[in-house]
A and B are shown apart, each in its own frame.
Chain A
Amino acid sequence: MKRRIKAVFGNMVVAQTDERVVKNAIGYCVRNDGIKLLCEIIRVRGDSVDLQIFEETRGLRVGDHVEFQEQMLSAVLGPGLLGQIYDGLQNPLPELAEQVGFFLQPGNYIHALDTERTWDWSPKVQAGAVVQAGDTLGSVPESIFEHHVMAPFGLEGQYTVQTVAEKGSYPVTKEIATLTDASGNSIAVTMEQSWPVKRPLCVAKRRLLPTKPMVTSVRIIDSMFPIVRGGTYCIPGPFGAGKTVLQQITSRHAQVDIVIITACGERAGEVVDTIREFPKLQDPRTGKSLMERTIIICNTSAMPVAARDASVYTGVTLAEYYRQMGLNVLLLADSTSRWAQAMREISGRLEEIPGEEAFPAYLESRIANFYERAAAIELRDGTVASVTIGGTVSPAGGNFDEPVTQATLKVVGAFHGLSRSRSDARRYPAIDPLDSWSKYVGIIDPQKVEKISQMLRRGDEIRQMMTVVGEEGTPIEDFTIMLKAEFFDSAYLQQNAFDEVDAATSIDRQRFVFDKILEVVEADFIFKDKDEARRTLKKISSMFINWNYAPWDTSVVPESEREDPPLDKSKVKEDSQTERGDFKEMLGQIDQYIQSLLDKANNSEKETEDELEQLAV
C-alpha cells in the first residue's frame, strides 16, 4: 500500500495511492517533522489524487506520507457554538491563541466544542418513543435559547428510543440516548453530531414562501428594498463603498435570533472590530451581549486560501443547524467574491479549462447552490424557522458585469447595489436607489414605495436633463420634483451608521417618518422662484435630518399599531436626549412649517383667483 505525495504546487498537492478514496473526503499530508496538514480530495484520476491543502504547503516534500479518511469535511454541531469565533475549519481561535500564540501555525487543530463544559440536560422523550432524524430528544439551555439536542440528521426511517439519560449536567460527549431501528441495530447519541458542510441540512415538513420581513433597521433597505426571513440578498459594490459597514450594521440590528458572520477572505481588522465590540454591545431585545447570539467564522485574506471555501459552507451549515431548532438565523457572507477567487485559484492549479475571467465553469452552479440553502421552512412540529443569506460581492473594478456579480444576481431575491458616486459624495449607505431592487414586500405599503420610487426616477431624469438645458430651462414644477427627490435622499435614504440613534431606525419609526415624508412630497408648495424652492426644501431637509437624531418617542404611534419590540428604557442616556431634542417637539415644528408653506400656497392661489375675479368684474 502506498500513499505518497507526488507533486506540490502552491496549495495543491498530487498524491499517489492504490487505496479506495472518496471524493471530497478529508485527509492529512504528513510533513517530515510530523506536522499533519488537513486537506480535501478534489479530484481523482487513476491512481493520482488531487488534494487542496487547507494550510500553507511550505516544507512538504515529494514522497511524504498522506492519510485519507472516509468522512467528508464536516461541521461539528452541538451546544456551545454560540458566541464562538472559529476559523474556516471550525477551530476555535481563542483556544488556538492560547495554545500557539500570535500566529496561526499550520497543523494545529482543536475540537470545535468544549468537551469539558457541562450542560443542564432535560430529556424531552421517554424510552419507547419513536423518533426520526432531527426530532428533539432533549434540550440544554444555551445563551438565551433552548438548545435542542436532536436525533442525528443522517438517520433514515423510524427509530425507537431505547434509553435516555436522566435530567442532569453532562458534557457534550456524554451518551444521552440510544436509538434502535426496526432491525434492532442500535446507535448511541451524544449532544454533538457532525454534518458534511457541502450537503444542505434541512429536515422539514416543507419549504415555505418567505414573506415575513427581516428588519435590519437600515431605512433604505427596510423601506425601499426589503429582505425577508428565509430570503437572499446580495450587496455588490466597489471597494470603499461601505459593504462591510453595512454588514456590520445589519449584524447588530437585524431582528433575527442568531447571526452568523462569515468573514471570507476579507480584512482581519474588520473581524477584530466585531470580536472586540460585540461582547460590549447589548442586544436591545434581550438585554444580553450581542455576542451571545452571534457566531463568527473568519478566514481572513491572509489565512490559507482553500479554507475560504470551507468557511462559507461551515457558516451555512451552522445556520441550518440552528434553524432545525425553530430559530431565525441570518448568515452574512463577506465576501463571496473571495470565495469565488479561491475556486478560481484551485481550478487554475487543477488546469481546468477556464471560463470567463478565468473563473471555473461551475462557478454559477456553486453560487446558486449556496444561496438556495437559505429558506423559510416548516419543521415537523409546525414551527416556522428560517435561514436568510446576505452576501457581499466585490466586483473587479466595481463593474457589475463580471461573472460573480452576474451569477449572484440570478439567484438572489434582493439586490442592494452600492455605487461609487454615492459613496464619493458621502451619501451613506451608498445603496443606489435607482439600480437596486427587491422581489420581497417589506414594512411599508408597496404603493407608497412605488410613489417614492417614481419620484426618485423622475428627479433623476430632471437632473440629467438639467445638465443639458440648464436650471433656467427647467420648469419650476420639475425643479421642485427634483428638489423633493433630493430631500427624500438626504432626509431618509441617508443614515449615519456611527450615530447611536440614527444608526438604527425601528419599524414603527420608519413607517411614521415615511408617512411624514410622503406628506411633504405630495404637498403642493408654490414657490415664487427656484432659489426660494431650494431654500425651503433645504430647510425642510435640515429639519428632518435633525429629527433623525432625536430619540424615538413610541407615544406618537397608537399602541395597537406598534410592531417594535418594547425597548429597554434604561439604555437611552438622558443627557444625550436633551442635546438631541425632543422627537414630538420637532414633529410639531415640522408640521407647523409645512402648514405655513401650504397656507401661503393657498393664499397665493386665492389671490390669483381674486385677481382673476376682479379682472372679470
Chain B
Amino acid sequence: MRTFYDEISQIAGNVVTVKAQGIGYDELAVITTDQGSSLAQVIRLEDDQVSLQIFGGTEGVSTGDKIRFLGHSFQVPFSDALLGRVFDGSGRPRDGRPEVKAQTVETGSPAVNPIKRRVPDKMIHTRIPMIDIFNTLVGSQKLPIFSVAGEPYNDVLARVGMQADAEVIILGGMGLRHDDYLTFRHRFDEAGVLGRTIMFIHTAADPVVECLLIPDLALAVGEQYALQGKNVLVLLSDMTAFSDALKEIAITMEQVPSNRGYPGDLYTQLARRYEKAVDFDGAGSMTVLACVTMPGDDVTHPVPDNTGYITEGQLYLRNGRIEPFGSLSRLKQLVNGDTRDDHRAIMNACIQLYAQCDESREKREMGFELSEWDDRLLQYGDLFEDEIMNLNLNIELFDALDKCWEILAGCFQPEEIGIRDAIIQKHWPGKSPKKEKEKSPEPVQV
C-alpha cells in the first residue's frame, strides 16, 4: 500500500519540509504537483519533520502536494543498454528513447577499501607532449583541468575522450550550455565512440538539484563497469557548477558557510566523488578527468583550491596552452621511470630552463641589458613554446623527447642544462652518432 504525506510545513529554496514518520536518512521520495512529479531526497530528519531537496525545483509546489517515499536511496539502472544513451540528472532519458529497465545500483556507494586498490602503473598516451612528457596521465588518475570561462576546456576534454581507447566513456555534464552538450555529442559521434559512451547531462536550464546528482550517477555507473573488469574514463564538466549547486542547497539549509559562502564540507563532498577514481585489485579501473573553471582565474578560490588538494595533480589551461608551471601529474613518477631513461631528466631540465627564460623575458621587458646567457634562454623559450607546448601537436612520447634534446642542444652546452653526465652522454644529439634509435612502444591505452 502506498502512503502519501501531504502536511508540507515549509517550502524554501529547493527544500520542502513535510511531516512524516519512519523515514530513513538519504531516502528518495516522489513529489507530485500540478506541474508533474519530481524525485526528492531526504537531507534532514528532525522529529516528525522531514526535509527533502526537490530535484525538479520547488517552483509551483503547493502546501497540499503529495509526497510518497520510496524506501531506498537514489538508484540508477545499470546494464549495457545504457551505452550510447543520454540521461538527465534524475536519470531520465533525454534522447527521446524509452527508459532503461534493468537492475538498479545505489549511487554514493561507500569508500573503496584501500587494500583493494592497486598502485596505478599504466601510462595513458595522449600524444600531446605537454601531457605525455611533463604531466603524464596514468590510468585511474583523477585529474582536473583548471581553466577559465572562454578557454577551450571542453574541447580538450572531448579530445582526450576521443583519443583514449577506454572501454567505456562516461560524460557527466553539469551546467553545460545546450550548445556544448550538442558539440560533445557531435564530436563523439564523428569519432565513432558514441556507441561506448554514456552521457548524463545537466544543462544550465535544468533544475539545480539535478546538477548535484550528475557526478553520482556517472560515477556509480562507471564503478559498476570497473567492477566488471572494464577500464572506464569519466569526463566531468564543470565541477564548479556542481560546487555552486552545493552552495545553493547549503545556504537554503541555513548551514554556516565557511569560505565565500561554500559549505564547510565542500572538501569532503568533492573528495567523495573524485575518490571514486580507482584501479581495483582484481577488477577494472576508473579514470576521472574533470574541468574546473576558476572564477576570476583565481586558483585560491575554494573550488579549485579544494579540488587541487583532492586530485592527483592538475592541468592549467590558459591561453589555449597547458601551462608548464603549476600543471602537475602526481602519478607521473609511477610510469615515467619505465619509459626511457632520459624522460625524467628532460622533464625537469626543460621546465627549469623555461622558468629561467621567463626571468630573462622579464628583464627584456624592463629594458635591461641582456647577457649572452639571457639571449640563449630567450631563444630556447620560443622554440620550446612552438615545438613542445603547442596543443595541436600529435606526436609519440619518444619523438617528443628527441625533439626536446634537439632544442636543448641548439641552445645550450651540455653542462649548462643540469642533467647528469651519464644521461647526456647517451642522448646529446650529435655527440654519440651511433646512438641507437629506440622505437616508441605501442601506446598503452586506458
Report the tally of A-B residue pairs with Cβ distances under 8 A: 229
B113 close to A (CB within 8 Å) = yes
User: A356 to chain B: closest CB distance in Å?
Assistant: 10
Does B113 lie within 8 Å of A97, measured CB to CB? yes
A196 close to B (CB within 8 Å) = no
Closest B residue by C-beta to A354: B256
Given contacts A102-B283, A276-B119, A396-B300, contact A61 B309 (CB under 8 A): no
B112 close to A (CB within 8 Å) = yes
B406 close to A (CB within 8 Å) = no
Does A62 lie within 8 Å of B47, measured CB to CB? yes
A155 close to B (CB within 8 Å) = no
B196-255 with Cβ < 8 A to chain A? 227, 255
Chain B residues within an 8 Å CB radius of A275: 114-115
Chain A residues within an 8 Å CB radius of B117: 268-269, 272
Does B119 lie within 8 Å of A277, measured CB to CB? yes
Does A424 lie within 8 Å of B255, measured CB to CB? no
A574 close to B (CB within 8 Å) = no
Given contacts A61-B23, A97-B115, contact A102 B373 (CB under 8 A): no
Given contacts A239-B309, A305-B265, A351-B256, contact A102 B227 (CB under 8 A): yes
B257 close to A (CB within 8 Å) = yes
Chain B residues within an 8 Å CB radius of A102: 112-113, 116, 227, 280, 283
B28-83 with Cβ < 8 A to chain A? 44-48, 73
Does A298 lie within 8 Å of B114, measured CB to CB? yes
Q: Which of A103-111, A165-173, A410-418 contacts B (4 or more CB under 8 A)?
A: A103-111
A122 close to B (CB within 8 Å) = no
Q: Which of B86-94, B182-190, B327-335, B381-389 contacts A (4 or more CB under 8 A)?
A: B327-335
Chain B residues within an 8 Å CB radius of A549: 420
Does A61 lie within 8 Å of B22, measured CB to CB? yes
Closest A residue by C-beta to B426: A579
Does A58 lie within 8 Å of B114, measured CB to CB? no
B338 close to A (CB within 8 Å) = no
Chain B residues within an 8 Å CB radius of A56: 110
Does B363 lie within 8 Å of A542, measured CB to CB? no
Contact with A along B18-32 (1 / 0, CB 8 A): 000111111100000
In the docked arrangement, what's the CA distance between A63 and B371, Å?
Answer: 78
Closest B residue by C-beta to A491: B418
User: A266 to chain B: closest CB distance in Å?
Assistant: 8
Chain B residues within an 8 Å CB radius of A85: 114-115
Does B26 lie within 8 Å of A59, measured CB to CB? yes
Chain B residues within an 8 Å CB radius of A498: 333, 337, 344
B118 close to A (CB within 8 Å) = yes
User: A540 to chain B: closest CB distance in Å?
Assistant: 10
Given contacts A426-B351, A498-B344, contact A358 B362 (CB under 8 A): no
B314 close to A (CB within 8 Å) = yes
Chain A residues within an 8 Å CB radius of B308: 238-240
Q: Which of B48, B267, B278 has the most CB of A within 10 A?
A: B267
Q: Which of B25, B301, B362 has the most CB of A within 10 A?
A: B25
Q: Which of B169-177, B268-276, B431-439 contacts A (4 or more CB under 8 A)?
A: B268-276
For B, the interface residue count at a CB cutoff of 8 angstroms equals 83
Does B22 lie within 8 Å of A63, measured CB to CB? yes
In the docked arrangement, what's the CA distance between A398 and B47, Å?
Answer: 42
In the docked arrangement, what's the CA distance between A32 and B71, Å?
Answer: 12
B305 close to A (CB within 8 Å) = yes
Does B46 lie within 8 Å of A7, measured CB to CB? yes
User: B75 to chain A: closest CB distance in Å?
Assistant: 12
A49-108 with Cβ < 8 A to chain B? 56-63, 85, 93-94, 96-97, 100-106
Does A240 lie within 8 Å of B110, measured CB to CB? no
Does B305 lie within 8 Å of A239, measured CB to CB? yes
Chain A residues within an 8 Å CB radius of B25: 8, 57-61
B352 close to A (CB within 8 Å) = yes
Given contacts A61-B24, A106-B110, A341-B268, contact A8 B256 (CB under 8 A): no
Chain B residues within an 8 Å CB radius of A530: 371
Chain A residues within an 8 Å CB radius of B331: 269
User: B420 to chain A: closest CB distance in Å?
Assistant: 5
In the docked arrangement, what's the CA distance between A535 and B276, Å?
Answer: 50
B357-376 with Cβ < 8 A to chain A? 362-363, 366, 368-369, 371-373
Closest B residue by C-beta to A266: B309
Select B271's contact among A97, A301, A470, A534, beta carbons within 8 Å.
A301
User: B312 to chain A: closest CB distance in Å?
Assistant: 6
In the docked arrangement, what's the CA distance between A7 and B314, Å?
Answer: 40
A445 close to B (CB within 8 Å) = no
Chain A residues within an 8 Å CB radius of B407: none
Does A302 lie within 8 Å of B111, measured CB to CB? yes
Does B111 lie within 8 Å of A300, measured CB to CB? yes
User: B430 to chain A: closest CB distance in Å?
Assistant: 20
In the docked arrangement, what's the CA distance between A298 and B117, Å?
Answer: 13
B379 close to A (CB within 8 Å) = no
B103 close to A (CB within 8 Å) = no
Does A302 lie within 8 Å of B271, measured CB to CB? yes
Does B111 lie within 8 Å of A534, measured CB to CB? no
Chain A residues within an 8 Å CB radius of B268: 265, 301, 305, 341, 345
Does B313 lie within 8 Å of A240, measured CB to CB? yes
Contact with A along B292-314 (1 / 0, CB 8 A): 00000001111001101110111
B320 close to A (CB within 8 Å) = no
Select A104's contact among B110, B264, B355, B366, beta carbons within 8 Å.
B110
A309-368 with Cβ < 8 A to chain B? 335, 338, 341, 344-345, 348, 351, 354, 357-359
Does A273 lie within 8 Å of B119, measured CB to CB? yes
Given contacts A104-B111, A268-B275, A301-B272, contact A345 B312 (CB under 8 A): no
Listed in ascending order, the chain B residues whose CB lies under 8 Å from chain A are 21-27, 44-48, 73, 108-120, 140, 227, 255-259, 263-265, 267-268, 271-272, 275-276, 278, 280, 283, 299-302, 305-306, 308-310, 312-314, 325-326, 328, 330-331, 333, 337, 344, 348, 351-352, 355, 362-363, 366, 368-369, 371-373, 415-416, 418, 420-422
Listed in ascending order, the chain A residues whose CB lies under 8 Å from chain B are 6-10, 14, 32, 56-63, 85, 93-94, 96-97, 100-106, 238-240, 265, 267-269, 271-273, 275-277, 298, 300-303, 305, 335, 338, 341, 344-345, 348, 351, 354, 357-359, 394, 396-399, 420, 424-427, 467, 470-472, 490, 498, 530-531, 534-535, 538-539, 541-542, 545-546, 549, 579-581
Beyond A57-B25, A426-B355, 8 additional pairs, beta carbon < 8 A: A97-B115, A240-B314, A301-B310, A302-B112, A345-B265, A358-B257, A424-B326, A530-B371
Can you show 20 pairs from A to B with CB atoms below 8 A apart? Answer: A61-B24, A62-B47, A85-B114, A103-B110, A105-B110, A265-B268, A267-B275, A268-B117, A269-B117, A272-B118, A275-B114, A301-B275, A348-B263, A358-B258, A358-B259, A396-B306, A397-B299, A424-B355, A425-B325, A425-B352
Closest 8 CB pairs of A and B: A397-B300, A301-B271, A470-B368, A302-B275, A239-B308, A358-B258, A302-B111, A58-B26
